[in-house]
Amino acid sequence: QVQLVESGGGLVQAGDSLRLSCAASGRTFSTYGMGWFRQAPGKEREFVAAISWRGRTTYYADSVKGRFTISRDNAKNTVHLQMNSLKPEDTAVYYCAASPLVAVPTSEGGYAYWGQGTQVTVSS
């Protein structure tokens, strides 16, 4: 049982940066793998990044590799997504999710808890 709340979205220009945050409460946060997903209008929700429960393993979608960085602070029950060099194609609602699996997944099916989403809009 985990509750997740995202924040930090907004409207920016191409090339700008944003830092998304996800605050968790409920069950022991440090035992959950965490992921970020995004959904653009008319598109399926897609994987963006994931981090293991200890923070020692990370995964990134090819489309964001080298630009986005996922991190977590278990003492503060937070996970972040630092997004640099933003592109218009990054425009989407971004969702934070938590997984109880022993290995952090990169697909939706592996995540049990989801936040409400935060809008990121990147103009050209």
Confidence class of residue 2 from pLDDT cuts 50, 70 and 90?
A: confident
Checking if the pLDDT of 29 tops 90, the result is no
Checking if the pLDDT of 87 tops 80, the result is yes
Q: DSSP string covering the chain, please?
A: -EEEEEE--EEEETT--EEEEEEEEES-GGGSEEEEEEE-TTS--EEEEEE-TTS--EEE-TTTTTTEEEEEETTTTEEEEEE-S--GGG-EEEEEEEE-SSS--SSGGG--EE---EEEEEE-
Mean pLDDT of the chain: 95
d(CA 75, CA 89): 33
Rg (CA), the chain: 13
d(CA 117, CA 94): 5
Give the pLDDT score at 3. Answer: 93
Strands 92-99 and 118-123: antiparallel
Query: Could you read off the pLDDT of 30-53 as tens digits, one per residue?
Result: 789 999 999 999 999 999 999 998
Provide the residue count of the chain: 124
Give the pLDDT score at 19. Answer: 98
15-19, 25-29, 92-96: range with lowest mean pLDDT: 25-29
Query: Could you read off the pLDDT of 3-15 as tens digits, one per residue?
Result: 999 999 999 999 9
Give the pLDDT score at 1. Answer: 79
Checking if the pLDDT of 28 tops 80, the result is no
